[in-house]
Structures are given as structure tokens and as C-alpha cells.
Amino acid sequence: MDKFLYLVTEGIKNTWRHKMTTLTAIFSLFIALYIVGLMATAGNNTHKLLHYLRSKYKIEVFFKQGVSNEEAVGMIHSIKQIDGVRNATIIEKEDAVRIFKDQFGENIVDLLGYNPLPVSAVVNLDRNRRDRLRVEPIIKQIRAIGQVEEIRYQGNLISKIERNYKRVIDQLPYLSGIIILVTVLIIYNTIKLSVYSRRDLIKTLQLIGATRTFIKLPFIIEGVLIGLISVIFVFPALIITVEGLNYIISNFSSLGLKLSFDPFVWIWLFLMVMAITTLGSYRAASGFLK
């Protein structure tokens, strides 16, 4: 028990004895974890951004003259059944007159003596689907319903957004993999350098009869402690960054978007850093033991 307590104390004391090495290691780990945390948070919020953009997608369907409100209701019901459509709202001929008056300040019925505005519908698209939303098949199906005079939509913009979203989603696993690999290497090498700077201690301990476990344990404790301190600092740093971005978005942009920080990201970072520092210190210390 005395021996175990001594080794734990040694691990803790070593972080203090080698303040500069410890600080450098904590800083390197902090930067690496912060970048991974930021990437993970960005990944988590990608869908939120897309959700916001999709809420702005709008298809306006103008029915032919002569289509009554009742007939339009039936057609809108068919539109709602199309895959990718979230909802569709009818704009009756009377509503169209009101909208015209709101926009131009004139009552078109008074001007012309009759209502020339057709019944129309505003179609909103599904925001929540994870795959690429294709608008062209939806347009084709709306046309197929018949009695449709004109369809207005932002086809190019929607395609561009959806295409880029798909590209990001496709690349994300590879990008995450590379970033995690680089992070693992940074953390491992930082720990290795920290152990390397004390190879004389390892040699001395070996010469006085210390077992391999006795030599390695303080290094493992030290590595875990460094990882722990880094990951503790990363948590508020990520929250501050997300809140800072939210402040900028709400005050300096017209985006109605609020980014969120998922604590699961931090738990994931915590587990990752604990595993790497434990394994890294173990391997690094073993490397200097003949």
C-alpha cells in the first residue's frame, strides 16, 4: 500500500517537478483536443444549419384560372403526399387579393372589376431528412397533378446547398478520421517526449532494482493527469467558442440560427484522451525499458 501510494504521489509530483514539460504537454493536448472538439461541434451543427436553410426553401404553385378553391384543396392534398414535401398551404383567390393589396396598396378587384389572381399554394419541403433533398422530382410530380399554370422555386440555390451538404456529409468521416489520427499522434508524441526527457530517471530506477510496473506507473499517472487537465480546460473553451459564435450570429447576421454544444462531444473527448494518454505513457515508458 505504501508503495502504491508513493507511486501515485510520484506521478502527481512529477507534473509539478517538470512544470515546463507539463505545461507544454497540456498546451499541445489542449490545442489538439480543442480542434477535434470544434470539428465535432461543427459536425453536430451542420444539420442544424441545413435545417435552417431548408426552412427557407419555398415552392409556389399557381393553378390555372378557373380552378376553384375547393378543387385546389384536393390538389394540395395530393401535393402533400409527395415524398420530400413537409406541408402545403392554399392561398385562395380572396387571400391573393389581400396579399396584392398589402404589397401594392391597390385592390385589384376595384381596379379591374374582377379577380384575375389564381388560386395558388405554398409548398414547404422536408427539413429533417439526412440525405440530399432533390427538388426536381418534386416539381415533376406537382406538374403531373395537372391544372398547374406555373411553379416558382429557387432551383439552382436549393441544388447548390443540397449538393454541398452531401459533399460535406460524404467527406466528414474521412476528415474526422484524419483529424483524430493526427490528434492521437500529437498526444502520443507529446507524452513520449515527456517520458524521453526523464530517461535518466528510468535508467536509475532500473539500476536500483525497480520493477517495470514500479517504473511505468508514475508515468501513466502523470500522462493521465496531463490529459485530464487538458480535457477539463477544453470544456469551457468549447462552450465559450460556441456562445461567442452565437453572439456574433445573433447580433451581426440575419441567420436565425443558434449553435449548440453537445456534452457528449466532451465525454467522447474525455474518453479518447484518457485512452491515448494511458496507452501512450505505458508504451513510451516501455520503450525506454530494455
Reading the block at residue 282, the C-alpha cell is 505505458
112 lies in the binding site for other proteins (CB under 8 A)? no
Among 52, 196, 214, 282, binds other proteins (CB under 8 A): 214
CB of 23 to other proteins, least distance (A): 15
CB of 213 to other proteins, least distance (A): 10
Among 2, 70, 102, 131, binds other proteins (CB under 8 A): 2
Q: What is the spatial distance between Cα 115 and Cα 65, in angstroms, rounded to a whole number?
A: 10
Residue pair 279/269 in contact (Cβ under 8 Å)? The answer is: no
The amino acid occupying position 276 is I
Q: Provide long-range contacts, Cβ within 8 A and 24+ apart, for 236-239.
A: 237/30, 237/34, 237/37, 238/34, 238/37, 238/38, 238/41, 238/265, 238/266
202 CB contacts (<8 Å, ≥6 apart)? Answer: 195, 215, 285, 288, 289
Binders of other proteins: how many residues, by CB under 8 A?
Answer: 19
Strands 85-91 and 59-63: unpaired
Strands 85-91 and 120-125: antiparallel
CB of 1 to other proteins, least distance (A): 9
CB of 2 to other proteins, least distance (A): 5
- Contacts to other proteins from residues 25-64, by CB under 8 A: none
- Contacts to other proteins from residues 216-245, by CB under 8 A: none
**Applying CB under 8 A, which part among 31-39, 148-156, 166-174, 205-213 lies near other proteins?**
205-213
**Applying CB under 8 A, which part among 77-85, 89-97, 202-210, 232-240 lies near other proteins?**
202-210
Binding mask 260-289 for other proteins (x = CB under 8 A): -----------------------------x
CB of 289 to other proteins, least distance (A): 8
Reading the block at residue 249, the C-alpha cell is 450570429
**Applying CB under 8 A, which part among 153-161, 199-207, 254-262, 269-277 lies near other proteins?**
199-207
CB atoms within 10 A of CB 65: 12
Residue pair 205/217 in contact (Cβ under 8 Å)? The answer is: no
Strands 148-152 and 120-125: unpaired
- Decide whether 5 or 112 has the Cβ nearer to other proteins: 5
- Decide whether 14 or 41 has the Cβ nearer to other proteins: 14
Among 81, 208, 252, 253, binds other proteins (CB under 8 A): 208
**Applying CB under 8 A, which part among 71-79, 97-105, 140-148, 201-209 lies near other proteins?**
201-209
87 lies in the binding site for other proteins (CB under 8 A)? no
Residue pair 165/46 in contact (Cβ under 8 Å)? The answer is: yes
126 CB contacts (<8 Å, ≥6 apart)? Answer: 54, 84, 85, 86, 133
What is the contact surface with other proteins in residues (CB under 8 A)?
2-3, 6, 17-18, 200-201, 203-212, 214, 289
